[in-house]
Amino acid sequence: MSNTEITAETPAGNRAGPHGESAYVLVIGSASVDVSVMTANLPQPGETVIGHGSLIAPGGKGSNQAVAAAACGAPTRFVGRTGADDFGRMIRLGLAARGVGIEALEALAGVASGLATISVEDSGRNAIVVVPGANSGLLPADLDALEPVIRGAAVVVLQCEIPMETVYRAIGLAAAAGTPVILNPAPYRGLETANIARSVSYLVPNETEAAQMLDRPIRGSRDAEQGALALLVTAVDTTGAGDAFVGALAAALARGATRDTAVRRALLYSALSVTRAGAQVSYPLGEEFERAWSASS
């Protein structure tokens, strides 16, 4: 990992876009539609259970993170692929409605948009199946023409629901441009550490992903446990909580926050997101989040 640190004294927000515009968060990743069902208990293999609610809404880790970054006040652009279908239109309309730039979100003919089926237990636990669909069509060569956009970004945000070769290409282009990278290694598909060790500024795994990366359980210190307990909220649905964290972290860094402040803001934004059902639809809008931030400070 590089020791890149963005501070209030040297904010990423000082960077300028390819046409001289203000710096922005650039999210390169997946965009899908989430089909969620709510149930008292997750079904066991071979079991049918009766649900008590459903929700169809835009999702996908990359799209979620872009929505969170925009809601937290950072100009945000998204690079991805959808199908030329109704779900693709839902994805594009959802991102545009939340203020995300979608000029580089292309619709591919002859392929379905990405889809996730999500079973959500009343406790907040979930079980998710992701079908990448058009997200698999975002290829490394597609990023070459976007080099000026990558160079002008305050920070590039990546996840692993697109081809890993594309993730590595994006990391390489960002490193060459001197643009900081946030990598959320989810879902964990293995990482070629040589491709990321010197080029990723912020690696953001959850506990499971960290354990998979290290091939051992994660056992935090007593202080870390106590700190985590202090941040607990009543969870309704944890879908997209990690994406909310990553997007909020990117937004804070892009706006010139110190690393510690950016992490604290991201923790709060993520915590607020789990108090409602769904992914993007659960994310607080900017004014709501800033009120919560002021109250917590």
Distance from chain centroid for Cα 48: 31
> What per-residue string of b and e applies to 7-40 under the rule 16 or more CB within 10 Å gives b?
eeeebbbebebeeeeebbbbbbbbbbbbbbbbee
Name the helix (H) or strand (E) containing 101. strand 100-108
Distance from chain centroid for Cα 118: 17
85 is catalytic: no
Name the helix (H) or strand (E) containing 33. strand 32-39
User: Which one of 85, 122, 243, 260 is the catalytic residue?
Assistant: 243
User: Under a CB-based contact definition with an 8 Å cutoff, are residues 201 and 181 in contact?
Assistant: yes
How many angstroms separate the CA atoms of 135 and 188, rounded? 16
223-229-231-234 Cα dihedral, nearest 10 degrees = 170
Q: Which residues form the catalytic set? A: 243
